[in-house]
């Protein structure tokens, strides 16, 4: 390895998050083949092909409790070479383990943020069974853990969620919003579980699952924290319309980056990182 962090490229997205012919076809198979609706959207792995140390970054390997006591695993990375601008809690998408999602956050460590990323229950080294409600509790537990650290400024917190992670974060933060939360970023996030099921299974698919804990029902409750919605206009997994719906429903201060040519997972990395720069500038304005 050359010491530089790989971006989540198009190939990575296909492998880890899967494109419409992968992720959503497996969702369709789940809709048709099982009655366990908690598992329709989740494709965890338990491997760990790389760690921050492989890229020259320091990190703490930690275990911490979800808000319901389930034992979870995460990595805490201090800002590289400077005093931290703030602390980012990153909630990843519905496939792989935290190891597969390093490319989403390492650039933020280099930009001066310390980052805590973690695996939900049933993913990676975290314990417990896959469960829609339980994963919302995992987001709350991640914030509780970060706030327990002495090296974290409790008044400068950022929530960053990709895809499913954005959905879980919105729901969790509507129920329990830390007083020091300065910003919420959701990237490629859907508004409704049933809407996603309908894309591949029609009304039959949508009827098989509930819309419980869908972010569309919670995002309007977050009225004070600035929100950034990032969505690619070529997202094959979560249509742009889903991101636009969340943006419309948001009741607080809000901004949207509609990324031309952006796919599911590569929007912020496109145009040589131009949208990363815009996101950092946006964060500077709200921190």
Q: What's the pLDDT band for 13 if we cut at 50, 70, 90? A: very low
Per-residue model confidence (pLDDT) at position 126? 99
How far apart CA 26 and CA 96 sit, in angstroms, is 14
How far apart CA 224 and CA 146 sit, in angstroms, is 21
Query: If you average pLDDT over every residue of the chain, what do you get?
Result: 88
Q: What's the pLDDT band for 2 if we cut at 50, 70, 90? A: very low
Per-residue model confidence (pLDDT) at position 209? 82
How far apart CA 146 and CA 276 sit, in angstroms, is 24
Q: Identify whether the C-beta of residue 74 lies closer than 8 Å to the C-beta of residue 98.
A: yes
Q: What's the pLDDT band for 206 if we cut at 50, 70, 90? A: confident
Q: Identify whether the C-beta of residue 101 lies closer than 8 Å to the C-beta of residue 118.
A: no
Question: Is residue 72's pLDDT more than 80?
Answer: yes
How far apart CA 217 and CA 192 sit, in angstroms, is 9
Q: What's the pLDDT band for 36 if we cut at 50, 70, 90? A: low
Beta bridge partners of 75: 61, 117
How far apart CA 98 and CA 117 sit, in angstroms, is 7
Q: What angle do CA 277, 280, 284 make, to 5 degrees?
A: 140
Per-residue model confidence (pLDDT) at position 37? 55
What's the DSSP call for residue 66? -
All structural domains of the chain, each given as residue ranges with its CATH number in brackets, are: 10-286 (3.40.50.1820)
Beta bridge partners of 204: none
Calculate the dihedral angle through the C-alpha atoms of 108, 110, 116, 121, rounding to the nearest 10 degrees.
70
Question: Is residue 14's pLDDT more than 70?
Answer: no
Per-residue model confidence (pLDDT) at position 199? 81
Sequence-separated (6 or more) residues with CB below 8 Å from residue 105: 77, 88, 90, 115, 117, 160
Question: Is residue 167's pLDDT more than 60?
Answer: yes
Question: Is residue 187's pLDDT more than 50?
Answer: yes
Question: Is residue 165's pLDDT more than 70?
Answer: yes
How far apart CA 97 and CA 122 sit, in angstroms, is 10
Beta strand extents in 67-209 (DSSP E only): 71-77, 87-91, 95-96, 114-119, 157-162, 181-187
Q: Tell me which H or E stretch contains 166.
A: helix 164-175
């Amino acid at each position: 390895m050359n010491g530089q962090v790989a971006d989540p490229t198009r190939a990575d997205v296909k492998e880890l998050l899967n494109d419409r012919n992968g992720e959503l076809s497996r969702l369709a198979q789940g809709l048709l083949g099982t009655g366990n609706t908690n598992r329709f959207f989740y494709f965890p792995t338990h491997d760990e092909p790389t760690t921050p140390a492989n890229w020259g970054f320091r990190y703490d390997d930690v275990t911490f409790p979800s808000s319901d006591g389930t034992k979870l695993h995460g990595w805490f990375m201090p800002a590289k070479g400077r005093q931290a601008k703030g602390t980012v809690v990153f909630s990843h998408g519905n496939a792989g383990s935290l190891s597969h999602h390093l490319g989403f956050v390492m650039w933020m460590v280099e930009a001066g943020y310390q980052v805590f990323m973690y695996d939900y229950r049933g993913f990676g080294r975290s314990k417990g069974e896959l469960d829609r409600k339980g994963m919302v509790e995992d987001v709350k537990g991640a914030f509780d853990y970060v706030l327990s650290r002495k090296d974290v400024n409790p008044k400068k917190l950022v929530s960053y969620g990709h895809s499913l992670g954005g959905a879980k974060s919105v729901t969790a933060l509507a129920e329990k919003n830390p007083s020091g939360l300065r910003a919420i970023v959701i990237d490629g996030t859907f508004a409704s579980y049933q809407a996603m099921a309908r894309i591949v299974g029609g009304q039959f698919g949508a009827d098989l699952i509930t819309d419980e804990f869908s972010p569309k029902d919670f995002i309007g409750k977050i009225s004070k924290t600035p929100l950034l919605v990032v969505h690619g206009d070529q997202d094959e997994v979560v249509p742009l319309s889903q991101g636009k719906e969340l943006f419309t429903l948001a009741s607080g201060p809000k901004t949207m980056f509609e990324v031309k040519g952006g796919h599911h997972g590569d929007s912020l990395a496109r145009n040589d990182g131009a949208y990363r720069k815009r996101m950092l500038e946006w964060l500077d304005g709200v921190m």
